[in-house]
A and B are shown apart, each in its own frame.
Chain A
Amino acid sequence: GAGVSQSPSNKVTEKGKDVELRCDPISGHTALYWYRQSLGQGLEFLIYFQGNSAPDKSGLPSDRFSAERTGGSVSTLTIQRTQQEDSAVYLCASSRSPDSSTDTQYFGPGTRLTVL
């Protein structure tokens, strides 16, 4: 595809359940980012993948959050034992050359997660 895609577009779950969110980056982009956006808040960085390097997990809010990126392409963000405060839009972005100062992130449409 031409852009970053994410699935599902909407997810409603019950408190305590696990959820998986998927991101397909733009082909050829080596960097992949996950962000969270709550109502009225800015984009909160969660995790960053670059090539085969160890991911930067410094933004993950708790050990209930984890992410994988298989084969340097598709990424899955997993939230275990979801809580109501996890409700937000989860955005994925990819970029081609993160070591370039002019590198631009391209965002997917996001997954809106609602935890009841």
Chain B
Amino acid sequence: GQNIDQPTEMTATEGAIVQINCTYQTSGFNGLFWYQQHAGEAPTFLSYNVLDGLEEKGRFSSFLSRSKGYSYLLLKELQMKDSASYLCAVRTGGSYIPTFGRGTSLIVHP
């Protein structure tokens, strides 16, 4: 089975940087996804990591360490619109179905 852990809630200030961590335990690994979900809306794809290291995409970056079963999503220059839930999802070898964590609710305040 799989176990994916994320903090339940985080708060940060507009303009700041925030790091959302995700740890996982799986019997195999074939990629990790981050999704953003605003309240009442569908999750939208942010990033994908399958190799160790940092993937940067504008204000958002995602890091993966396969040996540690660890990933983080880094959000820079926070904006109020970044207030949302951030979902970490892991796909294991042989399965096309990602398993999602419970999500981290990020609240950005002025």
Contacts and interface: CB of A to CB of B under 8 A. Distances in A.
Given A101-B30, A101-B31, A102-B50, A56 B97 contact: yes
Q: Is the interface of B mostly helix, strand, loop or mixed?
A: loop
Contacts of A102: 31, 48, 50
Interface residues of A, number: 26
A98 B44 contact: no
Nearest to A98: B96
Contact of B102 (A35, A40, A99): A40
B45 A43 contact: no
Interface in A1-54: 4, 31, 33, 35, 40-43, 45, 48, 50
B102 A42 contact: yes
Given A43-B87, A101-B30, A102-B48, A108 B42 contact: yes
B42 A109 contact: yes
Contact of B96 (A50, A91, A108): A50
Interface of B: 4, 30-31, 33, 35, 41-45, 48, 50, 87, 89, 91, 96-103
Interface of A: 4, 31, 33, 35, 40-43, 45, 48, 50, 56, 59, 91, 98-99, 101-110
